[in-house]
Amino acid sequence: MKTCSSCGMPMLAEEDFAGSDPDSDLCVHCGQDSAMRGRLVSFAILESKLGKADELFEILRENLRQTRALEGVTDTFLAQSPEDPNRFFTYSRWRDRAAYDAVQAIATAGESPALTEDILPLLEGEPQFGFYNVMD
Contacts of 89 (CB under 8 A, 6+ apart): 43, 44, 45, 78, 79, 80, 81
3 state DSSP class of 103:
helix
Domains and CATH numbers, the chain: 2-35 (no CATH), 38-133 (3.30.70.100)
What is the H or E stretch that residue 115 is in? none
Average pLDDT of span 87-93? 94
At 109-123, the pLDDT tens digits run: 665 445 566 788 999
At 35-56, the pLDDT tens digits run: 555 688 999 999 999 999 999 9
Contacts of 64 (CB under 8 A, 6+ apart): 76, 77, 78, 90
Instruction: Give residue 4's pLDDT.
Output: 77
Instruction: Give residue 24's pLDDT.
Output: 84
Q: What φ, ψ does residue 37 adopt, rounded to 5°?
A: -85, -10
pLDDT more than 90, % of the chain: 34
Question: What pTM was computed for the model?
Answer: 0.67
